[in-house]
């Protein structure tokens, strides 16, 4: 009998595709298939020729781009020299997750499906196109597609005699067990983020702990929006970047939330543990030291402030000993309960920690072994770099709008990363932030004579500040900036810097302060008013136009 094994590969940017891939992995385990779930870039693509059965789950980002953790795979798969029949032994299915409000809806999934066909793969089903815009989200497509997928797979790989599909009422074992260490065992202080000994350029698995040099509020105290200019010292990091690049920052949970979480789940923050995989061969989660403390795990790893997904409630229901709570949790994890879940979680942006508060009997029964199955890891956040190394050697600056807004919940919603960054005070000692740099999507003209027209309202001006600093340092003129905000006196970021450059003849600046007069004025009005100049730059000087929001 053919070996019953399945490989599930995902390309995920925000975690949705990974969550769906892990769901398929759990459903495969219930059908007694040997299953591995991996990011596309973690698997060796050359080994695809030996895989009998693969399910691809991939998101589309930006303008039809593949997610970061499948870019290497993508380049390999589209190499011209791959032989046409190289995947003829492969049965596969592609599940796409996208948003139909974008022109290139599910572009990556469609293109992947087509390419696998070209290489001789055998599709088990037509490509599935999950849509965020649907009332029930992607699950409206995913749920029926998975029912059809399991029918196909079980027809090819029937259940071994005497085995049945494991019922959804039976809880699957956790991915890892937490083995607590005796309280008196010696321990290095792993809670301190040490600046690592440098090997290669910093990356997600080896971020650089950059010292915060300054954290300055740019908006008036009376202004509703708190915007910061934060500067990091990157000396000795090996980090280089140019205008348009992006810095990735790994945030952490605030101490109050960490304390509440530990109290709710009856966890002792100082306890130390090592993680042991349940299935031999399962890699340990990167970025978690071994051994580790509960405090470190909850502060730096578990995303207790994210809006929980359907899979969270499904697993939570399995721990519940309280009938009332269990019924509600089961409803939230059912296909029929998705509208209810949306209005409980997504609409008011309720956090995982707040959801746990609402199910107290279940929460105190969560076994620590399941923490990493229940709660996803904290994702890094991307910021446009707002400075140039030519103007500020060994330094990096970012412009951060602190996210804070109201929903129907009494407590204001706060952005995890921006709130944490804003709270860092370099006056209080050595404050460090784990970061690394990624190439940005904006490429600026190599020819020094080419003018650039930059449209950057609000914090969208960040990458243009980097460009202008770089171009001014290289003696390039033809810098034209359209900047917009609400009030000249309250949120005109970097005003003195721009005005100095204008005085020196190095920048042409047009500003739109939308609330400073009766009728609202935005950057598009200023572009229209200066249409002649803009057209002149475009038609006779071949200017490039950039827009950032």
136 inside domain: yes
The two three-digit tokens of residue 95, written as one number: 């599940």
- CA dist 232 and 212 (Å) reads 5
Residue finishing a domain among 100, 123, 156: 156
83 inside domain: yes
Report the CATH number that the domain containing residue 43 is assigned in CATH: 3.40.50.360
Say if residue 87's pLDDT is above 60.
yes
The confidence score (pLDDT) of residue 422 equals 97
Residue finishing a domain among 123, 156, 189: 156
Q: How far is CA 350 from CA 327, 353, 452, in A?
A: 20, 8, 42
- Tens of pLDDT, residue by residue over 45-77, are 888 899 999 999 999 998 899 998 999 999 999
One domain for residues 129 and 14 = yes
SS3 at position 247: strand
One domain for residues 9 and 123 = yes
Report the CATH number that the domain containing residue 298 is assigned in CATH: 1.20.990.10
Three-point CA angle 489, 493, 498, nearest 5°: 100
362 inside domain: yes
66 inside domain: yes
407 inside domain: no
Q: How many domains does the chain have?
A: 3
- CA dist 175 and 70 (Å) reads 23
- Which residue range is the domain that position 281 belongs to? 272-374
Say if residue 417's pLDDT is above 90.
yes
The two three-digit tokens of residue 408, written as one number: 């129907």
The two three-digit tokens of residue 453, written as one number: 């027209």
The rounded radius of gyration (Å) of the Cα atoms in the chain is: 26
The confidence score (pLDDT) of residue 199 equals 64
pTM assigned to the model: 0.91
One domain for residues 464 and 369 = no
One domain for residues 354 and 473 = no
pLDDT band at residue 191, thresholds of 50, 70 and 90? Answer: very low
One domain for residues 129 and 12 = yes
209 inside domain: no
Centroid of chain to Cα 39: 14
125 inside domain: yes
- CA dist 26 and 116 (Å) reads 25
Q: Provide the 8-state DSSP code for 55.
A: E
Contacts of the segment 292-295: beta carbons below 8 A, 24+ positions apart: 292/190, 293/190, 293/191, 293/269, 294/262, 294/267, 294/268, 294/269, 294/270, 294/368, 295/191, 295/258, 295/262, 295/269, 295/270
Length of the chain: 549
The confidence score (pLDDT) of residue 136 equals 78
One domain for residues 329 and 469 = no
Residue finishing a domain among 343, 374, 405: 374
Report the CATH number that the domain containing residue 508 is assigned in CATH: 3.40.50.80
126 inside domain: yes
What is the residue-wise DSSP string for 310-376? HHHHHHHHHH---HHHHHHHHHHTSSTTHHHHIIIIITTT--HHHHHHH-HHHHTT--GGGHHHHSP
Say if residue 2's pLDDT is above 80.
no
One domain for residues 151 and 28 = yes
One domain for residues 473 and 368 = no
Helix 16-30 to helix 310-319 angle (10° resolution) is 40
Q: What average pLDDT score do residues 279-287 get?
A: 87
Say if residue 400's pLDDT is above 90.
yes
- Tens of pLDDT, residue by residue over 202-244, are 999 899 999 999 999 999 999 999 999 999 999 999 999 999 9
pLDDT band at residue 190, thresholds of 50, 70 and 90? Answer: very low
One domain for residues 367 and 472 = no
């Amino acid at each position: 009998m053919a070996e019953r094994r399945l490989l599930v590969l995902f390309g995920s940017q925000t975690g949705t595709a990974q969550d769906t891939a892990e769901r398929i992995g759990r459903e495969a385990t219930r059908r007694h298939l040997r299953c591995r779930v991996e990011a596309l870039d973690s698997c060796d693509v050359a080994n695809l020729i030996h895989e009998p059965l693969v399910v691809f789950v991939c998101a589309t980002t930006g303008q039809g781009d593949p997610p970061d953790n499948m870019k290497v795979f993508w380049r390999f798969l589209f190499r011209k020299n791959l032989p046409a029949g190289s995947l003829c032994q492969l049965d596969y299915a592609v599940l796409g997750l996208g948003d139909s409000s974008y022109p290139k809806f599910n572009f990556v999934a469609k293109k992947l499906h087509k390419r696998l066909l070209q290489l001789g793969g055998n599709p088990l089903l037509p490509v599935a196109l999950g849509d965020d815009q649907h009332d029930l989200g992607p699950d409206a497509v995913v749920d029926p597609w998975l029912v059809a997928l399991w029918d196909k797979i079980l027809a090819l790989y029937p259940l071994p005699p005497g085995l049945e599909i494991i019922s959804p009422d039976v809880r699957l074992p956790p991915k890892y067990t937490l083995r607590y260490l005796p309280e008196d065992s010696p321990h290095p202080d792993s809670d301190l983020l040490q600046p690592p000994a440098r090997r290669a350029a910093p990356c997600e698995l080896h971020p650089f702990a950059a010292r915060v040099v300054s954290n300055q509020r740019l908006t008036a105290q009376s202004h509703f929006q708190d915007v910061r200019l934060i500067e990091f010292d990157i000396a000795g990091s090996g980090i280089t970047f140019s205008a348009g690049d992006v810095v990735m920052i790994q945030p952490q949970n605030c101490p109050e939330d960490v304390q509440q979480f530990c109290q709710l789940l009856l966890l002792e923050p100082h306890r130390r543990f090592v993680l042991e995989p349940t299935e031999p061969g399962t890699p340990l989660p990167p970025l978690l030291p071994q051994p580790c403390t509960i405090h470190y795990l909850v502060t730096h790893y578990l995303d207790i402030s994210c809006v929980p997904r359907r899979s969270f409630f499904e697993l939570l229901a399995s721990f519940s000993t309280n009938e009332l709570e269990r019924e509600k949790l089961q409803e939230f994890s059912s296909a029929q309960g998705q509208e209810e879940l949306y209005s409980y979680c997504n609409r008011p942006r309720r956090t995982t920690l707040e959801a746990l508060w609402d199910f107290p009997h279940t929460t105190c029964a969560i076994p620590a072994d399941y923490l990493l199955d229940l709660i996803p890891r904290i994702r890094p956040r991307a910021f446009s770099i707002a400075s140039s190394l030519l103007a500020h050697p060994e330094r990096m600056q970012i412009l951060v709008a602190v996210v804070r807004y109201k929903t129907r919940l009494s407590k204001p919603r706060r952005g995890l990363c921006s709130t944490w960054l804003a709270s860092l005070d370099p006056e209080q000692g050595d404050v460090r932030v784990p970061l690394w740099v990624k190439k940005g999507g904006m490429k600026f003209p190599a020819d020094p004579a080419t003018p650039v027209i930059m449209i950057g309202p609000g914090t969208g001006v960040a990458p243009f500040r980097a460009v202008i600093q770089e171009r001014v340092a290289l003696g390039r003129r033809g810098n034209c900036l359209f900047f917009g905000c609400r009030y000249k006196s309250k949120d005109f970021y970097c005003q003195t810097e721009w005005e100095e450059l204008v005085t020196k003849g190095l920048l042409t600046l047009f500003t739109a302060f939308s609330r400073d007069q009766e009728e609202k004025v935005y950057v598009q009005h200023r572009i229209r008013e200066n249409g002649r100049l803009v057209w002149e730059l475009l038609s006779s000087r071949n200017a490039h136009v950039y827009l950032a929001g």
